[in-house]
Amino acid sequence: MCRERRSAAPNERERERERERERERESSLSPLRLKADRSSRQLLGATQSLGRGRNPAEMSQSGSQETVEASDGNSSQRTLPSPPIGNRVTVVLGAQWGDEGKGKVVDLLAQDADMVCRCQGGNNAGHTVVVDSVEYDFHLLPSGIINPKVTAFIGNGVVIHLPGLFEEAEKNKGKGKGDVCPLSPSSAVFDFHQAVDGVQEQQRQEQAGKNLGTTKKGIGPVYSAKAARSGLRICDLLADFTQFSERSVPCNSGKNVDKVLIEEQCCDGFLTTENNIGYVKIHNTATLRILFENGNHYLGTYPFVTSSNCTVGGVCTGLGMPPQNVGEVYGVVKAYTTRVGIGAFPSEQSNEIGELLQNRGKEIGVTTGRKRRCGWLDLVLIKYAHMINGFTALALTKLDILDVFSEIKVGLAYKVDGEIIPHFPANQEVLQRVEVQYETLPGWKSDTSAARSFAELPENAQQYVRFVEEHVGVPVKWIGVGKSRESMIQLF
């Protein structure tokens, strides 16, 4: 017993010396740093107590541990199982200023999908897909509905103009066989919102001499109403119609809404009013293959931007999908760059090169009919989009449009006031002043539209693809050399 007391004494003295050193160290820290230091050590201690004797991989697979104190005062460890992750969904995003060919990539992937979902935007977006020489134009409907086996969901992040949706559904009814389900929390766009959108554009032009170049589809006003908590949703329309009609009168200029007509069109076999089944299917069936399609492109220069979340985060907020369920994120990149409307465009070619790109690429907006501005591929933009969204692979589209050029330029960096800047500038005025630093690559001057494998492409076209991969740091999985589904070359 005496030996035990003697051996314990040095341990106690050592602990006291450690406590004294800790007090001295803490006295030298500022209050803010002391608080941060203590929080950090508490977190470290908690992590060590949870993971003691186990590696991170084991913890992620079997769950975490907590200490449970029994009624007799003894404590024991129990394992809390980690919740199942569920579906790993695939996401398709436009990596430039739009019109990259997202619809074609979605159509390709939808052939093996069970569900295709739109999660943001409205009918301001436009996608064109060609299958078996039949051209499809989509604005609200997901492009993947061409696959007769898929169910298409329109998420709560989408704003829906019902007359436009019904018209588009009827137009494509004989072409696509899939069902469409607009989820009930989606916000409704009325003709009133579109009228306000047009008036606001006119006022901007009169007051500042510059408008935003909106599509006048009411997208900005309806998202504003949603943020102000004064908007109406599809679930309001399908619930107590008396309350809905009372709320909708001031927003709809006194026009009556025919609920019977709406329900008839919704239940016509193409659309369904049983909205909540979408969430049940998406979250409770681990074996389903789910494809997410963003309606709009990622890039914009404020204030010349759309009003919804166009990043991979829009998948989470626009359809209630947890971040851990996001799997592959495919960025769609056109082999050159285009932009519709107003806003800075560093690599724009306002010359015969831009005109040639416009004519060969038939660069006219699906929604507005406006000609698109054209320029060289700008990898500063692509790297910025990758930084935000974390692309796992790229789809490089419309490579065949470059077939006629003997030399092709690619933007690699920006200079402002003679200095290279290491980032994509957020300020519109700064972006308008940048000087693009190009690298000139040799063209291939031969037709690529018949190529169906990477090996069949000309050597210089292959080098162009590899150049993009090396500078962005993301592999190219598909190369588009034409309009049809068959013209998408898959590399891996």
Residue from 247, 255, 204 nearest 225 by CA: 247
Cis peptide before 442 (omega within 30 of 0): no
Q: CA 489, CA 486: separation in Å to the nearest integer? A: 8
Q: Is 100 annotated as a binding residue?
A: yes
Q: Is 375 annotated as a binding residue?
A: no
Q: Is 255 annotated as a binding residue?
A: no
Is 127 in the active site? Answer: yes
Catalytic residue selected from 99, 197, 236, 378: 99
Q: Is 86 annotated as a binding residue?
A: no
Q: Is 104 annotated as a binding residue?
A: yes
Q: Is 341 annotated as a binding residue?
A: no
Q: Is 99 annotated as a binding residue?
A: yes
CB 330, CB 397: distance < 8 Å: no
Q: Is 127 annotated as a binding residue?
A: yes
3-state secondary structure at position 318: helix
Residue 233: other Cβ atoms inside 10 A: 19
Q: Is 220 annotated as a binding residue?
A: no
Is 99 in the active site? Answer: yes
Q: Is 126 annotated as a binding residue?
A: yes
Q: CA 458, CA 445: separation in Å to the nearest integer? A: 9
Q: Is 313 annotated as a binding residue?
A: no
59: left (phi over 0), alpha (psi -120 to 50) or beta: alpha
Catalytic residue selected from 193, 216, 217, 226: 226
Q: Is 210 annotated as a binding residue?
A: no
Q: Is 399 annotated as a binding residue?
A: yes
369 HSE (CA, 13 A, CB side) = 1
117: left (phi over 0), alpha (psi -120 to 50) or beta: beta
* 403: its two tokens: 């077939």
Q: Is 281 annotated as a binding residue?
A: no
Catalytic residue selected from 127, 161, 216, 217: 127
Degrees (nearest 5) of the Cα angle 22, 24, 25? 65
Q: Is 272 annotated as a binding residue?
A: no
Helices and strands, counts by H and E, the chain:
16, 21
Tell me which H or E stretch contains 40: helix 31-51
Annotated binding site for IMP: 99-102, 124-127, 215, 229, 296, 306, 370
Known binding-site residues equal 98-104, 124-128, 215, 229, 296, 306, 366-372, 398-400, 480-482
What residues are designated binding site for GTP? 98-104, 126-128, 372, 398-400, 480-482
Active-site residue set = 99, 127, 226
**Binding residue positions for Mg(2+):** 99, 126
Binding site for substrate, by residue number, is: 366-372
